Amino acid sequence: MAAALLLTGAAVAAGAPAGVAATRPATAAAGCDSAQRAVAESLGVLVTRHGIPGAAAEFVDPRCGRREAARGVADLGTGRPMRAGDRLRIGSVSKTFTATVVVQLAAEGRIGLDSPVEHYLPGLIRGNGHDGRTTTVRQLLQHTSGLPDHMDALADVPVEQWRYRHFDAHELISMALRLPRPGGSWHYSTTNTLLAGLIVEKVTGRGIEAEVTRRIIHPLGLHDTYWPGDQTHIRGAHSRSYSALLPAPGPVDGTEWNMTLGGAGGALVSSPADMNRFHGALFGGRLLSARWLAEMTRTVPADPDRLWPGARYGLGLIATPLPCGGWWWGHAGTVPGGHRALGAVGPGGRTVALALNRVPATDRAEQDFRAVVDAALCAPDSSNGRDGTNPSKETP
Choose the catalytic residue: 92, 243, 271, 382: 92
d(CA 126, CA 295): 28
Q: How far is it, in rounded angstroms, from Cα 101 to Cα 87?
A: 23
Convert 44-77 to b/e letters by CB count within 10 Å (16 or more is b): ebbbeebebbbbbbbbbbbbbeebbbbbbbbbbe
- Within 8 A by CB and 6+ apart from 316, the residues are 95, 96, 98, 99, 100, 102, 141, 193, 296, 331
Residue 271 falls in the annotated catalytic set: no
Say if residue 233 is exposed, middle or buried (CB neighbours under 10 Å; 0-12, 13-18, 19+).
exposed
- Give Cα separations from 84 to 175, 182, 202 (angstroms): 37, 38, 37
Residue 209 Cα distances to 8, 206, 300, 336, 351, angstroms: 19, 8, 28, 21, 25
CA-to-CA distance for 61 and 66, rounded, in angstroms?
6
Those residues with Cβ within 8 angstroms of residue 287's Cβ, 6 or more apart along the chain or in another chain = 100, 104, 215, 216, 281
Residues with Cβ within 8 Å of 271's Cβ and at least 6 positions away in sequence, in order, are 84, 85, 86, 87, 88, 224, 225, 353, 355
Interatomic CA distance for residues 10 and 166, integer angstroms:
41
Inter-residue contact 220 to 179 (CB < 8 Å): no
- Provide the annotated active-site residues: 92
